Copies of this chain bind each other. A is one copy, B any other.
């Protein structure tokens, strides 16, 4: 009897978190961002020092809140019967080092992945991009052989952080990145915002591809317009939204 009570207690402790992660993961196929079991979203509970993430290799239509796996910021499973996403340690590293994020999303969405494979940053060509960040979306260098043969998924987290450091960017300056030869990761204050960013990135990536195809000499949006669009949504005097 005690054990059941304890188990129920443990279960309810993270119920809300698992439900949040479940809802966020369900959005990926609805937004056309994933095929089969590809991709994964996590939602963090900062007070508890844990996050809930998609189980590895499970189709989206078979997900339930109970199947989400709860993991701490070292990447250790805290609760859940299934094995967590193979990318779990990448999420753990980012949660551990980036204090203000509450959600992470990883997809192999078509256009963002193509830019990752092309090893090219996505230039900021217009206001759709500027509405979300003022900088090009960086594409990391391929990982070193030593990092790959080490703890690969942990290293992917460090690879992402190192790319931002090299470019003198903070994780609050932009909420999306391309991992070279791999695919995008996005983040945000909540898991829902991270998924939103995955969809925005896919849209930006597609438009940038078309912009260059239409005009191979396309130039970046001018600085003043870039700043104006970002600030009207995110600046101190923002007037977008309610």
Residues of A at the B interface (CB closer than 8 Å) are 35-38, 55-58, 82-83, 86, 108, 110-111, 113-120, 125-128, 142-143, 145, 148-149, 152, 181-183, 196, 199-200, 203, 206-215, 218-219, 221-222, 224-225, 228, 232-233, 239-242
**Contact residues in B for A221 (Cβ distance below 8 Å):** 117, 142, 181
Q: Which 5 A-B pairs have the closest CB atoms?
A: A57-B241, A114-B210, A118-B215, A117-B126, A118-B214
Inter-chain contact A228/B83, CB cutoff 8 Å: no
Contact of A117 among B152, B207, B242 (CB under 8 A): B207
**Contact residues in B for A142 (Cβ distance below 8 Å):** 221-222, 225
**Contact residues in B for A240 (Cβ distance below 8 Å):** 56-57, 86
A70 to B135, CA, bound (A): 36
Known: A57-B242, A225-B181. A119 touches B200 (CB 8 A): no
**Contact residues in B for A149 (Cβ distance below 8 Å):** 224, 228
A133 to B242, CA, bound (A): 38
Inter-chain contact B57/A225, CB cutoff 8 Å: no
Inter-chain contact A239/B86, CB cutoff 8 Å: yes
**Contact residues in B for A117 (Cβ distance below 8 Å):** 125-126, 207-208, 211, 218, 221
